Amino acid sequence: MEYFKGITKIKYEGSDSKNPFAFKYYNPEEKVLGKKMKDHLKFSMAYWHTLVADGKDPFGNATMERPWDEITTDPMEQAKVRVKVAFEFMEKMGLEYFCFHDRDIAPEGKTIEQSNKNLDEIVDIIESEMKRTGIKLLWGTANLFSNKRFVNGASTSPNADIFAFAATQVKKAMEITKRLDGSGFTFWGGREGYETLLNTDMKLEQDNFARFLHMAVDYAKEIGFEGQFYIEPKPKEPTKHQYDFDSATVISFLRKYDLINDFKLNIETNHATLAGHTMNHEIRLAVDNGVLGSVDANQGDLLLGWDTDQFPTNIHDTALTMYEIIRGGGFNTGGLNFDAKVRRSSFSVEDLFYGHIAGMDAYAVGLKVAARLWEDRVIEDNLAKRYSSYKKGIGKDIVEEKVGFKELEKYILNKKVLDLNESGRQELLESIINQYIIG
**3-state class of 125 per DSSP?**
helix
Specify whether 104 is catalytic: yes
CA torsion sign, 240 to 244 to 248 to 254?
A: positive
Rule CB under 5 A: say whether 317 interacts with Ni ion. Answer: no
Select the binding partner of residue 91 from ligand XLS, Ni ion, none (C-beta < 5 to 8 A, by kind): none
Task: Please calculate the CA angle 178-179-182 and round it to the nearest 5 degrees.
Answer: 45
Pick the binder of ligand XLS from 307, 317, 324, 361 (CB under 6 A).
307
DSSP E strand stretches across 107-178: 136-141
Select the binding partner of residue 141 from ligand XLS, Ni ion, none (C-beta < 5 to 8 A, by kind): ligand XLS
Q: Give least dist CB 232 to ligand XLS, A.
A: 5
What b-and-e string marks burial along 396-412, b requiring 16 or more CB atoms within 10 Å of the CB?
A: eebeeeebeeeeeeeee
Name the residue nearer to ligand XLS (CB basis): 205 or 296: 296
Which residues are within 8 A (CB) of 280 and not within 5 positions of it... i.e. 6 or more apart?
320, 321, 323, 324
Name the residue nearer to Ni ion (CB basis): 116 or 337: 337
Point out the residue whose Cβ comes nearest to ligand XLS.
188
Pick the binder of Ni ion from 91, 104, 282, 339 (CB under 5 A).
339
Select the binding partner of residue 102 from Ni ion, ligand XLS, none (C-beta < 5 to 8 A, by kind): none
Pick the binder of ligand XLS from 27, 116, 118, 141 (CB under 6 A).
141
Alpha carbons 367 and 163: distance in angstroms, whole number: 42
Rule CB under 5 A: say whether 104 interacts with Ni ion. Answer: no
Rule CB under 6 A: say whether 91 interacts with ligand XLS. Answer: no
92 contacts 10 by C-beta, under 8 angstroms: yes
Q: Give least dist CB 119 to ligand XLS, A.
A: 16
Q: Give least dist CB 205 to Ni ion, A.
A: 22
Name the residue nearer to ligand XLS (CB basis): 23 or 165: 165
Mapping DSSP onto H, E and C, the string for 47-104 reads HHHHHHCCCCECCECCCCCCHHHHCCCCHHHHHHHHHHHHHHHHHHHCCCEEEEEHHH
275 contacts 246 by C-beta, under 8 angstroms: yes
Q: Which residue(s) pair with 396 in the sheet?
A: none
Alpha carbons 408 and 412: distance in angstroms, whole number: 6
Which residues are within 8 A (CB) of 45 and not within 5 positions of it... i.e. 6 or more apart?
86, 89, 90, 93, 95, 97, 98, 99, 337, 338, 356
Residue 434 neighbours by CB distance under 10 Å: 10
Which contiguous run of DSSP H or E holds residue 338? Answer: strand 336-338
Name the residue nearer to ligand XLS (CB basis): 192 or 339: 339
Q: Give least dist CB 103 to ligand XLS, A.
A: 10
Active-site option among 102, 104, 244, 339: 104
Phi and psi dihedrals of 40, rounded to 5? -70, -45
Specify whether 397 is catalytic: no
Name the residue nearer to Ni ion (CB basis): 12 or 139: 139
300 contacts 310 by C-beta, under 8 angstroms: yes
Interacting stretch for Ni ion, rule CB under 5 A, among 23-31, 268-276, 326-334, 356-364? 268-276
Rule CB under 6 A: say whether 268 interacts with ligand XLS. Answer: yes
**Interface map 57-86 toward Ni ion (x if CB under 5 A):** ------------------------------
What's the number of CA atoms in the CB half-sphere (13 Å) around residue 315? 20
Rule CB under 6 A: say whether 232 interacts with ligand XLS. Answer: yes
Active-site option among 49, 101, 277, 356: 101
Alpha carbons 74 and 133: distance in angstroms, whole number: 27
Name the residue nearer to Ni ion (CB basis): 3 or 97: 97
Pick the binder of ligand XLS from 3, 87, 98, 188 (CB under 6 A).
188
Residue type, position 366, single letter: G
Q: Give least dist CB 392 to ligand XLS, A.
A: 46
Name the residue nearer to Ni ion (CB basis): 88 or 335: 335
Count of residues engaged in binding ligand XLS, rule: CB under 6 A: 10
Pick the binder of Ni ion from 296, 317, 324, 361 (CB under 5 A).
296
Pick the binder of Ni ion from 268, 317, 324, 361 (CB under 5 A).
268
Rule CB under 6 A: say whether 296 interacts with ligand XLS. Answer: yes
Name the residue nearer to Ni ion (CB basis): 88 or 282: 282
Catalytic (active-site) positions: 101, 104
Residues that bind ligand XLS (CB under 6 A): 101, 141, 186, 188, 232, 234, 268, 296, 307, 339
